[in-house]
Structure 1
């Protein structure tokens, strides 16, 4: 550390030391670095012994607090090393531990909750923290293997198979609801293993797993005996698989209060005996739905068409799909080129495909159960009229004035409005226009932008390359998606739309 940072940290440690000394904690260790410091004292009405020490991240990390009389107990908000978890992640920003009296009060509060059995505790679903989470180091970074499942019903109540961990540590379910695997042959004898016939070091082509339900958990540590009990009649088969040096996975569902959580365990036979590793089990479908926003339930049965799968249309369609629009059609005829990727929402894996296919397949990688529909561009007044009548909302993202005029005519025939979303002046202004405006309102005033001479050209029909910044595309698409979501949900919006300056001064 520099002298300036040294002085800052040293002052924080000194103030913390003085506060604990005033509370009759004794300084038993001290030094130049924060992790050289340690204090002992008592807390609570029963004068329970406590040890407080620092890490080198202090004052930007909480002190380590241990209650020696409880260090061997298994309890909520107490890590496997015996240290107490006194604050959740949302309360760390104010550094509450810097108030010595507040720290001691928090420890006493922890003791009171523990004595009461954590009856009012939040149902935090973080059992991995208590069960020695499996951590690996790759390229200097810590990571943990993760089992990804679509939902619990995919694997519930039976055997399943997964891939081995990939380069990111991901285990993917390849088949589920299987009958029990065949009992493997016992390991070969030592002479044959010496002769090179052992399969111990061969990589596994797949992994066998079993899904079990632990029910309501009352303590955060899951004992191996609990897993064996829930495995029931599968116990002998699991033992045989381990003896044959085949890893076995357990994917476990549990509840805490009314909340549902998942946890995984990897068992494997090694030269040192049976090893047990804990890893997260991540459910995809419901986890994504919980993050889709509070409009998602309302949007799930709405029918929307996005015309134009270019930069604006791809991002807007992606946002609507993420937000819960399950019946979504995107219209275009163009092909995705490498240069489009700077401003487009699609994955580079789909270069060469139609833009509609690229948007659909990119979304399918995330949410395959509700695929986006694709169609060609809207051609002719009859098609436009039918589209406005059939869909709950049509959004024009083409930036093409002929398409806009076509939809204006269809709106006049049907008496229905559509959204027109565009970036104006190569990123100077983002606009969302309701066409025609609701409630007879006047249209949004025409955007005044500075002219920009074309300087870059590529193959095509006379169009220069637009220097529109990707941020202008993303912000305008988000504006359009917000209007679409609120209109689909029946909420009030600005009746004519919105115009927003993005990059009004060009270089």
Structure 2
């Protein structure tokens, strides 16, 4: 037996021995026992799945009827005991801890799930459809109680394209699907099938007949929990028993809110600011991308260089950008990838050299990020910022990618500027590599160093924009330094 098998066997044996000590009895593939809660007791069947202890035990009431159906039951009636954000360790492998958790579940159920969090996971209560496509929808309020049309798109997508009903005649090549949007309102307990759904929607619309006649094959249900709203897309069809079967389809919202929900809590505030990125090569291109993803919605990109094939390994853009000016290539990528309007991005294909240009950029933006790694440009922007009482952020990689530095210039609160970066020993990368058009060797900086430097730069930029600076002068980090243990 290998060490992993020994670990799994030991965990299972220890859990089962603890079950026996508290009165559980083995029966076939599960364990029968009793959980006391309040003034009553409930018999349960506990199963250790094959993946235990890396998968939590499953618990079902021995008799289903006395246990109220709620959002905290699985489709098969099992208790929903472990949420995704409870996976901080394998706490469920401790029998007493797990049984206490089961007891707390019953006590919360008895109390009616007071202060229940509004998880929007109605998909859990329907079996999956065999249709593998992803169904996308936008703002659904305009389609409430309306028949709608889904059209196929590349990447195995079906997109809600507007109102519509199935035409009387279609060809074999016809691939559109037709559905209906209904509002369930506030859902205190999840529906589990067609009967539950039908009881909650407008009875004046005979959806069952539409389904039997194959005019309707998709049902979009909107619902709410707490202050939150969501939707689920279902595959509906008549079955052999004369009823209606319901299966969940893969679906997702394609709305501005959905595209920005993971940007962080500061995204809305960051949308008020304008930022100029000077130098959109390796670091600067990723800085621009991360700023947009964080919520910044007004951007100016400045660079005089073109994208070449050799740039791609350390640059944001792909082969489609080769030959374009770097600001144009980055703008194209951002507008395709991050849903920022092209009109929100200004591009300037220039090399920054004059004080007038520097002052215009500084006065026209809330922040300048200098990623040129050009000392002359950095000095120009630093001097210009100091002259009008503002500041810039300057980012650069040094020591062949072994060090990055992010400078706040001038530093806040009269602090001194960061000291020069120490020379860090480099691993032997072999002889220097040169290419045509370059007067110096190609930098051995690895792509991951570029990503780290860009992330740190944006962290400092966001801090300055929100007046919550990370450090008054910036930071220097040696990426090849020995890690130190946390105190």
The two structures have a TM-score, normalised by structure 1, of: 0.83
| Structure 1 pair 172–360 and aligned structure 2 pair: CA distance change class (3 A) | farther
* Displacement after TM superposition at 1:87 (Å): 1.9
* Closer/same/farther in 2, CA of residues 183 and 41 from structure 1, 3 Å limit: same
Matching residue of 1:42: 34
Output one character per residue of 1:162-208: Cα deviation in whole Å (capped at 9) or x when no partner.
333755x53334x23x3x436525xxxxxxxxxxxx95xx3543222
Partner residue of 2:468 out of 472, 491, 495: 491
Equivalent-residue separation in structure 2 for 1:432 and 1:117 (angstroms): 53
| Structure 2 match to 1:92 | 87
Q: Which residue pairs with 1:263 in the alignment?
A: 232
Using the alignment, how far apart are the partners of 1:277 and 1:98 within structure 2? 33
Matches within 5 A, 1:31-430: 37-44=29-36, 45-70=39-64, 74-134=69-129, 145-153=133-141, 158-164=146-152, 167=155, 169-173=156-160, 175-176=161-162, 178=163, 180-181=164-165, 183-185=167-169, 202-225=172-195, 227=197, 230=201, 235=206, 239-240=209-210, 243=213, 245=214, 248-268=217-237, 275-284=245-254, 285-371=256-342, 372-377=345-350, 378-430=352-404
> Which stretch shifts more, 490-499 or 465-474?
490-499
Within 1, Cα distance between the matches of 2:77 and 2:176? 37
For residue 408 of structure 1, report the CA deviation from its aligned partner.
Answer: 3.4
- 1:34 maps to what in 2? none
Query: Are the aligned partners of 1:385 and 1:413 in contact in 2 as well (CA < 8 Å)?
Result: no
Residues 148 and 108 (structure 1 numbering): CA distance in 2 closer, same or farther, change over 3 Å? same
Matched residues, number: 470
* TM-score normalised by L of structure 2: 0.86
Aligned partners of 1:504, 1:23: CA distance in 2, in Å? Answer: 52
Name the CA distance, whole Å, in 2 between partners of 1:24 and 1:271: 45
8 Å CA contact retained: 1:454, 1:465: no
Q: C-alpha separation between the residues in 2 aligned to 1:412 and 1:3?
A: 65
Matched residue of 1:473: which SS?
Answer: helix
The alpha-carbon deviation at position 28 of structure 1 amounts to 2.0
The question of whether the paired residues in 2 share the 8 Å contact of 1:242 and 1:268 is answered with: yes
CA distance in structure 2 between the partners assigned to 1:472 and 1:454 by the alignment? 20
Structure 2 CA distance for aligned equivalents of residues 57 and 258 of structure 1: 36
Give, in whole Å, the separation in 2 of the partners of 1:172 and 1:105.
Answer: 46
1:151–1:409: structure 2 CA closer, same or farther, 3 Å change rule? same
Q: Deviations over 1:340-361 (max 9, x none)?
A: 2221122444344332233223
Which of residues 415, 418, 421 is equivalent to 1:447?
421
* Cα distance change on mapping 1:70 and 1:275 into 2, 3 Å: closer
1:476 paired to 2:453: yes
